[in-house]
């Protein structure tokens, strides 16, 4: 009888995990997506899309589908699903693992202001900055739009639509990861004094390294709190948690 695994998707590692497990005859793997994007990058294998209806809805789903284990691979800035997973799994006795890239850690030479939300970030840059690289995601620009004295370089993968009313801004459409040399050149040639970004974590980040070398301020948004659950920092660690 195969064991049933539910992967709560959102990050690249969720698809890598599904790929690594798809051939296993002892496992039935179901990947779950929130369904927010119109054209999602689908994992291989069985996929379900859409919310469960809170922690209670998830508990019902786990029971109805005889789920034996859950791996939470939701985005580090997705604030709710991890809590629902912890509650739903606790209610049903299903083991839960959280898979996420470790957050970036402040290093010697970093001038970081850590913030919990963009309102706090806007207050910090409003008081101290003149030229800002805003790398927060195209849907999270609004809190910065009233800062008329500041020139913003807004970098996003897709064009902001609508673009909030910035007094001084340039849009740069680009998809990372970006090499160190080009990040350093961008920051230097645009005379950037502050970077605003999220602590996405994972491999060393070139813009943060360049900011460190150039002595620039970084206003970095911390990840939302998560429940205490067993954690894996890589797909390999998640596979070893699942066992043979
Ligand atoms: P959230 O606050 O954690 O979740 C909100 C609700 O969405 C959950 O309560 C759940 O609905 C549903 N949901 C979330 N993840 C799900 C999954 N894997 N499978 C089924 N339902 C799920 O997350 P969010 O902020 O709404 O984010 C959802 C989407 O945006 C995800 O695709 C996430 O990866 C992405 N995201 C990206 C960023 C970024 O910075 N790029 C930041 C945040 C989120 P029910 O309560 O009905 O079960």
- Map residue 219 onto helix, strand or coil: strand
Q: How large is the average pLDDT for residues 124-139? A: 97
Q: How large is the average pLDDT for residues 145-153? A: 97
Q: Which atom belonging to ligand 1 lies closest to the Cα atom of 73?
A: 18
Over 80: is that where the pLDDT of 59 sits? yes
Closest by CA to 190, choosing from 164, 219, 206, 168, is 168
Over 80: is that where the pLDDT of 163 sits? yes
Query: If you search the block for the tokens 């645009």, which residue do you land on?
Result: 190
Query: Out of 33-37, 182-186, 197-201, which region has the weakest mean confidence (pLDDT)?
Result: 33-37
Domain 111-221 adopts which CATH fold?
Answer: Rossmann fold (3.40.50)
Phi-psi region of 139 (alpha: psi -120 to 50; beta: other; left: phi over 0): alpha
Q: How large is the average pLDDT for residues 221-232? A: 97
**pLDDT score at 10:** 83
Q: Is 74 in the pocket of ligand 1 (CB under 6 A)?
A: yes
**pLDDT score at 38:** 73
What does the DSSP assignment read for 135-182? ES-TTS-GGGTT-TTSEEEEEESS--SSPP--SSEEEEE--S---HHH
Dist CA 72 CA 82 (whole Å): 7
The model's pTM: 0.90
Over 70: is that where the pLDDT of 237 sits? yes
Q: Is 75 in the pocket of ligand 1 (CB under 6 A)?
A: yes
Over 70: is that where the pLDDT of 234 sits? yes
**pLDDT score at 104:** 97
Query: How sure is the predictor about 138, in pLDDT bands with cuts at 50, 70 and 90?
Result: very high
171-197 b/e (C-beta count within 10 Å ≥ 16 → b): eeeeeeebeeeebbebbeeeebbbbbb
Domain 4-102+226-242 adopts which CATH fold?
Answer: Rossmann fold (3.40.50)
Same fold, 4-102+226-242 and 111-221: yes
Calculate the average pLDDT of the chain: 96
Distance 164 CA to ligand 1 centre (A): 24
Over 90: is that where the pLDDT of 36 sits? no
Over 80: is that where the pLDDT of 1 sits? no
Counting ligand 1 atoms within 8 A of each CB, the residue from 78, 100, 160 with the most, and so the one to mutate, is 78
Domain ranges of the chain: 4-102+226-242, 111-221
Element (H or E) spanning 62, and its range? helix 54-64
Q: Is 54 in the pocket of ligand 1 (CB under 6 A)?
A: yes
Q: Which atom belonging to ligand 1 lies closest to the Cα atom of 83?
A: 3
Say what percent of the chain tops pLDDT 90: 93
Dist CA 134 CA 220 (whole Å): 11
Distance 81 CA to ligand 1 centre (A): 6
Over 90: is that where the pLDDT of 84 sits? yes
- Map residue 128 onto helix, strand or coil: helix
**pLDDT score at 39:** 79
Say what percent of the chain tops pLDDT 70: 99
Write out pLDDT tens, residues 16-25. Answer: 999 999 999 9
Write out pLDDT tens, residues 169-187. Answer: 999 999 998 999 999 999 9
């Amino acid at each position: 009888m195969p064991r049933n695994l539910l992967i709560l998707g959102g990050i690249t590692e969720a698809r890598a995990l599904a790929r690594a497990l798809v051939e296993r005859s002892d496992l039935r793997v179901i990947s779950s997506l929130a369904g927010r994007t119109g054209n999602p990058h689908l994992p291989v294998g069985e996929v379900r899309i859409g919310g469960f209806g809170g922690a209670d809805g998830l508990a019902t789903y786990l029971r109805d589908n005889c789920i034996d284990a859950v791996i939470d691979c939701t985005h580090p800035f997705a604030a709710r699903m991890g809590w629902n997973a912890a509650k739903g799994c606790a209610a049903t006795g299903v083991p839960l693992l959280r898979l996420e890239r470790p957050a970036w850690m402040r290093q010697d030479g970093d001038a970081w202001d850590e913030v919990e939300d963009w309102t706090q970030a806007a207050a910090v840059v409003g008081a101290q900055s003149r030229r800002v690289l805003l790398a927060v995601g195209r849907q999270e620009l609004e809190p910065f739009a009233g800062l008329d004295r500041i020139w913003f370089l807004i970098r996003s993968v897709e064009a902001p639509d609508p673009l909030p009313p910035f007094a001084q801004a340039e849009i740069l459409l680009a998809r990372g990861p970006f090499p160190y040399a080009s990040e350093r050149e961008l920051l230097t040639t645009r005379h950037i004094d502050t970077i605003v970004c999220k602590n996405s974590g994972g491999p060393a980040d070139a813009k943060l390294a360049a900011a460190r070398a150039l002595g620039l301020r970084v206003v970095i948004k911390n990840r939302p709190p998560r429940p205490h659950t067993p954690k894996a920092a890589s797909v390999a660690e998640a596979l070893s948690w699942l066992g043979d």
